[in-house]
Structure 1
Amino acid sequence: MISDFFNIDPYIQDLAVKAEKKCKEPFERIDEIAEYNACKVLASFIENGVSESHFTESTGYGYGDRGREVLDKVFAQAVGAQDALVRHNFVCGTHAITTALFGLLRPGDLMVSLAGKPYDTLEEVIGIRESSGSLREFGVKYKMLDLLPDATPDFDGIADAVQGAKVAHIQRSRGYSLRESLSISQLEKMINLAKQANPDIIVFVDNCYGEFVEKKEPTQVGADIMAGSLIKNPGGGIAKTGGYIAGRHDLVEECSYRLTCPGAGREVGCTLGENRSMFLGLFHAPTVTASAVKTAVFTAALFDMLGYPVYPAYDYPRTDIIQAVELGSEKGLTAFCQGVQKGAPIDAFVVPEAWDMPGYESKVIMAAGAFTLGASIELSADGPMRQPYAAWLQGGITYPSGKTGVVLAAQSMLEQNLIKKP
């Protein structure tokens, strides 16, 4: 019991037990998907002949790094893509996405977003917010297809939106919004509609937070290319940094010239001993992702019972690891994040406060006591200090630790009189 080790009010502890019982069927679905994806990843390791020699460190230019080359093949097969770039020198998911966009787009090209406004950190990349070096500054045009009033994709508007566009951008996850994240079936429909209307269009999916949550990835339902972060799902809580780009071979090649330089592309780039952690992280990714999804489902069940709006509901099919909880006030958001921090294995004594975080429009509060700084696959919660004062929780590399952090978030809110006992 959590209360054997932490000071949990009996009311919160009792609700947590009831919430977990409600999650039995969703948990069974999550385990079935995790087993499928774990076997898929294992098969890709075996069929590509991964060996100890692929963990060997390279330095300098990194010419002929066999581990780097095999990791690309293993990852590509695991996500159903022709090719992949999996590199520790992608500094974050936004960097991987930016590399892909700059690799694919040229001055005068049009990029269209098919899922409304993108994540905050991409606004300066695109040029929605003023920034030096944006796509807009390089002459790339941008337009956006808004979501419908019910926050679902505007399927009927896709055909017109993609006319004349070179790249269609689709953000799978919700970002700092309360819309549902896009399922693989929704992505497939969007991709098909875009390609029917514009056969030459390149469909690019921001796959952050979505890897291994379902049995298929966007590249298996028609996406030409996708990108994400290794300190989220596919790094399995083990990769210390990095990101990936995966998709059509010719497009991945184009992106490699932006990652390094024209003429060199993927043939250079030393691995500095990071191959082992990226291989091992990928191997663990399906089961670690399952722990994070279970943590999200439990959060939804518990906070729904406490009377807070949750997105999605605990029994709603999952397509990413994110759980949003609408807390209604700055005080509520702060108390929630401070409680999550109390359950972190690292820096549990730290008290989070909102601050002006680089790349974000509003002040952001973030709880993240992680073995890898900023790793979203480890339990974290964050949110901008603006309406509706929602926390976006993600991660939990083990379900017991994730569950404990969520219970401590509820306890923190109870102690600040934001939860009333009956």
Structure 2
Amino acid sequence: MFQLPFFTTTSAYPTHTFALTCPTAAAYTGAAFSAPSKSRASTVSLYREEQPFVPEVEKAVDSLYSEFRAVDNLVARNTARVLKAFQNARVGSHHFGGSTGYGHEEAGGREALDQVFAEIFGAESAIVRAQVHMQSPVLCLLSYGRGMSYIHNMLTPILYQLLAVAGAPYDTLEEVIGIRDSNGLGSLKDFGIYYREVPLAKDGGLDWAALKTALNPQTKCALIQRSCGYSWRRSLSVDEIGKAIKIIKLQNPNCLVMVDNCYGEFTESIEPSMVGADLIAGSFIKNPGGTIAPCGGYVAGKEKWVAAAAARLSAPGLGIDCGSTPGDIMRIFFQGLFLAPQMVGEAIKGSFLIAEVMAGQGYKVQPACRVPRHDVVQAVQLGSRERLLAFCEAVQRSSPVSSFTKPIAGATAGYASEVIFADGTFIDGRWQPLDSMGASSRGGSQSSIEYTFSIANTGSFNGAFIQPKVKFAPGLPLSIGLVNLDRAEGNLSYGCLQGGFNLDLDFSLHLTANHVG
């Protein structure tokens, strides 16, 4: 016999203490123990949970102690900055009331939230609105109202350009820009704004030499994409973004510099608006929503350009002074923003662990193991479309939401190619780039969260017939999306996975699988 001290239970009555014992050779999955007393008979049930971890994952967690502690320090610094901004804005419960209709009776929450966000991100001004419902419209505002339409009205009718300095943008921006035909519905090209890009360097970073001579007299706006997005490249650090802005401004001080900040918020202790960006933008269903925001997006930066964005979102003359936000949403915006540094920290830890485990299994990862993170995207090359499809099905089966459904590839708005989503999250659309054969995670709300990825059939995939063993803790939903893009270099399959701690946390496992055969 041996005693299981961790199952010792004390009842509501102080005298009722139970020490549960069982034979050493027993392997119970469930057992019941009864102990009589003078007042009543008490019963305690014992259930032995199946061990969700594998040695490779436990070893990886232990080996990443220094990296995890560094993330904890980052979380502490960013949380302190967020807390100070809340206090300076004198945020109170009356700000959570929200508004209806035109929003004229708003009790100050809208202005307080904008003030808090602007201070956190070191910007002159900011707008956070529920009406921006996903990332791509945010970027559309960034391209139009956040400067482009505003500039267009100011300029003489000559050709002028939007210059992307970090390679190609997200696929969902192709119709916004005019790279793909928007059928005359108002792309930048329809407005007479033409697009040009500076290809990335061979190492996947910015081509600094090319950037020094990239601007011409028609270049009125430069777009910097912070995250790697769907590309197999390094995400940009804030220091690199600051260096790029200096190079751009040396060529033309009046060139508007916009940064697509999505997936990068709170991954460092500074933001692009602190190093010279005129405008930054992102989505509240990603990092700054702290896993709980159900919608929304933000624009922050120089006051005149934020005002231009607000006019595009509403109308000239209305700007930031209208627009209703229901009270439950307003409170969640404040709460999610306060939680964001913590949740992003957990996401970064997850990316470290994914890289460590998957690289140990022989897969190529980007970023590499134990290098600083500048967004919450972790890319892993699997090698085939079939593996991605099988993984999508496995993720869906293991999710807390719609686990009984099977993801099917099909057309999705904004994409030229078919897309498949394994979307088991509580917030629709919280998906980002990833891959993994199987995953298990133990999560919570503290920075000491341990992330584990449990690999089944270690070291081999059996085509589309693999059955990865995927386990998730309650409240840890994941979703994955797959995009097939036919390009000159071949048929590339991109998968996107997002994980959540407590509700929906983007730890953004990014998969890029090269389809061969």
Calculate the TM-score normalised by the size of structure 2.
Answer: 0.73
Structure 1 partner of 2:480: 381
Cα deviations by residue, 1:223-259 (Å, 9 ceiling, x for unpaired) = 1110000000000111110000000111100111100
Query: Structure 1: any 5+ residue segments left out of the alignment?
Result: 410-422
Q: Residue type matched to 2:148 in 1?
A: L
Question: In structure 1, how many angstroms separate the alpha carbons of the residues matched to 2:304 and 2:352?
Answer: 39
Alignment of 1:406-417 (within 5 A): none
Greater shift, 308-317 or 81-90, is seen at 308-317
Alignment of 1:328-367 (within 5 A): 328-367=383-422
Residue among 185, 196, 212 paired with 2:266: 212
Residue among 199, 207, 210 paired with 2:253: 199
Deviation at 1:397, TM superposition (A): 2.7
Deviation at 1:402, TM superposition (A): 8.9
Does 2:180 correspond to 1:129?
yes
Deviation at 1:5, TM superposition (A): 5.4
Q: Residue type matched to 2:495 in 1?
A: A
RMSD, aligned α-carbons:
2.3
Residue among 321, 324, 344 paired with 2:376: 321
Question: In structure 2, how many angstroms separate the alpha carbons of the residues matched to 1:84 and 1:116?
Answer: 27
Alignment of 1:231-310 (within 5 A): 231-273=285-327, 274-310=329-365
Structure 2 partner of 1:69: 111
Runs of 4+ in 1 over 4 A off after TM superposition: 4-8, 398-403
Question: In structure 2, how many angstroms separate the alpha carbons of the residues matched to 1:119 and 1:215?
Answer: 25
Cα deviations by residue, 1:371-391 (Å, 9 ceiling, x for unpaired) = 111124864333323544353
Alignment of 1:161-176 (within 5 A): 161-164=214-217, 165-176=219-230
Query: Structure 2: any 5+ residue segments left out of the alignment?
Result: 1-47, 153-158, 433-476, 486-490, 512-517
Q: Residue type matched to 2:355 in 1?
A: A
- For the structure 1 residues 312 and 364, does the alpha-carbon distance in structure 2 shift closer, same or farther, using more than 3 Å as the test? same
Structure 2 partner of 1:94: 136
RCO greater where, 1 or 2, for CA within 8 Å and sep 6 or more?
A: 1
Residue among 65, 69, 94 paired with 1:28: 69
Deviation at 1:6, TM superposition (A): 6.5
Question: In structure 2, how many angstroms separate the alpha carbons of the residues matched to 1:152 and 1:159?
Answer: 15
CA contact (8 A) 2:175 2:187 kept: yes
Does 2:223 correspond to 1:157?
no
Deviation at 1:310, TM superposition (A): 1.1
Deviation at 1:351, TM superposition (A): 2.7
Deviation at 1:293, TM superposition (A): 1.4
Deviation at 1:324, TM superposition (A): 1.1
Deviation at 1:392, TM superposition (A): 3.7
CA contact (8 A) 1:37 1:286 kept: yes
Structure 2 partner of 1:413: none
Instruction: Specify the SS of the correspondent of 2:405.
Output: coil
CA contact (8 A) 1:322 1:393 kept: no
- For the structure 1 residues 53 and 401, does the alpha-carbon distance in structure 2 shift closer, same or farther, using more than 3 Å as the test? closer
Aligned residues: 400
Q: Residue type matched to 1:89 in 2?
A: Q
Structure 2 partner of 1:420: none
Deviation at 1:298, TM superposition (A): 1.2
Instruction: Specify the SS of the correspondent of 1:381.
Output: strand
CA contact (8 A) 2:376 2:506 kept: no
Question: In structure 1, how many angstroms separate the alpha carbons of the residues matched to 2:66 and 2:399?
Answer: 27
CA contact (8 A) 2:287 2:506 kept: no
Does 2:183 correspond to 1:140?
no
Deviation at 1:39, TM superposition (A): 0.8
Structure 1 partner of 2:18: none
Q: Which has the larger radius of gyration?
A: 2
- For the structure 1 residues 311 and 143, does the alpha-carbon distance in structure 2 shift closer, same or farther, using more than 3 Å as the test? same
Residue among 141, 162, 170 paired with 1:119: 170
More helix, by proportion: 1
Question: In structure 2, how many angstroms separate the alpha carbons of the residues matched to 1:401 and 1:229?
Answer: 13
Instruction: Specify the SS of the correspondent of 1:142.
Output: strand
Q: Percent identity?
A: 41
Deviation at 1:300, TM superposition (A): 1.1
Calculate the TM-score normalised by the size of structure 1.
Answer: 0.89
More strand, by proportion: 2
Cα deviations by residue, 1:100-142 (Å, 9 ceiling, x for unpaired) = 2111114443210000100010011000011132110111111
